[in-house]
Amino acid sequence: MYEAQTKAAILQRMLDASPADLDKRQGAPTYDLLSPAAIELALAWIELDNVLNFGFVDTTYGAYLDSAASEYGITRKAATKSIGALTFSGANGTVIPVGTRAATSGGEPVYFVTTTAGTIAGGSITVAAEASEAGASGNVGISAVNTVVGNLVGIVTVNNAFNFVAGSDSETDDALRARVLDRAQRPATSGNAAQYRQWALEVAGISDAKVYPIWAGAGTVKVVLLDADKRAPSTAVVNATAAYIESARPIGAIVTVVGATEVAINVSVSVTLGPGATLPGVKAEIEAGIRAYLKTLAFTDATVRFVQIANVILGVTGVVDYAALTVNGGTANVVIADGSVAVLGTAVVT
């Protein structure tokens, strides 16, 4: 807004306002004395432009966005730790105390810590655990945790028979901004549908929700959830959302909270590769592109379009052409039922 308030423009105004009988040429005392002041005033105008941006939800960020959100009673969702269980194997009688640490292998290990104690019997013991640090990085798959850390190194081995789930990163500026604008644009009062959606979105790990009033008769409400990856949330996150809504909902309502039903989109295609392209690399890019496309549809568009899948494939670096493309075994669009979400199933790329 204040882009025109440059050092040159400000200096010229100051020179024009100076007495006419003064020497105002570059290098003259008047010019040299006013130049530093013009620089400082230009910097002040730049900061004033920033102040305007900080004051509006759609242009502010970081701590300034937190302040704007607080005016609506909204706080940024904090990161949460993933939870799961670790199985320790070793000699019977070996005690696994609370706080025993384990980690994934690889260049950037993710650390986990036990939250309950146990004693090995029958060769192994499974105890509850959580990620040491909050964040989505703790959502690791089966058998990913395989390294003992600390005093039990060389005494026991460790593994995880189930996925670690429910870890989430701190809410991004874009996600927080969307919630604030949603609060302002969709008034929520007296337990209406908008308020149930807002309650769901206040839970860490939930990115969207659909609300169905009177879905099973008078006084009933159904809330269907999506996680940060636009997929069905873990059971732990669904339960946390249900508990939060239960604590806030009007008396008398019967509320059902569930994760969205995932509908697999299975893709098969034969591709012609360009120079230097490899099939594994192309396959990985196709999978990433399809996942990104399906995320844009979640709870907003019920149709997975065949031509858009084709566009994703053609847009991959190294793909010159394709043939024999099928989506869920056919060449037609796939319509996703209400309350469901399309997710990538299998991708066969030859």
Asked, for residue 28, whether it belongs to a domain, the answer is yes
Domain-ending residue, one of 230, 259, 288: 259
| pLDDT band, very low/low/confident/very high, at 51 (cuts 50, 70, 90) | confident
- Its pTM surpasses 0.75: no
Give percent of the chain with pLDDT exceeding 90.
87
Identity at 131, one-letter amino acid code? A
Domain-ending residue, one of 205, 224, 259: 259
What residues make up the domain containing 301?
262-349
269 with 249, same domain: the answer is no
219 with 280, same domain: the answer is no
Asked, for residue 164, whether it belongs to a domain, the answer is no
Contact 182, 62 (CB under 8 A): no
290 with 250, same domain: the answer is no
- What does the radius of gyration of the chain's CA atoms come to, in whole angstroms? 29
Asked, for residue 59, whether it belongs to a domain, the answer is no
Residue 137 has pLDDT above 90, yes or no: yes
331 with 268, same domain: the answer is yes
Confidence (pLDDT) at 197: 93
Q: What is the pLDDT of residues 307-347, one digit of tens each?
A: 999 999 999 999 999 999 999 999 999 999 999 999 999 99
Asked, for residue 74, whether it belongs to a domain, the answer is no
Question: 105-119, 240-254, 330-344 — which is least confidently predicted?
Answer: 240-254
Residue 245 has pLDDT above 90, yes or no: yes
Determine phi and psi for 146, rounding to 5 degrees: -140, 15
H-only helix segments in 131-229:
173-185, 193-201
Residue 106 has pLDDT above 90, yes or no: no
195 with 253, same domain: the answer is yes
192 with 269, same domain: the answer is no
281 with 249, same domain: the answer is no
| pLDDT band, very low/low/confident/very high, at 288 (cuts 50, 70, 90) | very high
Counted domains in the chain: 4
CA 310 to chain centre: 26
Within 10 angstroms of residue 133's Cβ, the number of other Cβ atoms is: 15
Confidence (pLDDT) at 256: 96
Domain-ending residue, one of 259, 288, 309: 259
Asked, for residue 332, whether it belongs to a domain, the answer is yes
266 with 345, same domain: the answer is yes
Instruction: Identify the three-state secondary structure at position 28.
Output: coil
Residue 280 has pLDDT above 80, yes or no: yes
270 with 310, same domain: the answer is yes
Asked, for residue 210, whether it belongs to a domain, the answer is yes
Asked, for residue 207, whether it belongs to a domain, the answer is yes
Contact 133, 82 (CB under 8 A): no
| pLDDT band, very low/low/confident/very high, at 179 (cuts 50, 70, 90) | very high
Asked, for residue 174, whether it belongs to a domain, the answer is no
Determine phi and psi for 52, rounding to 5 degrees: -65, -45
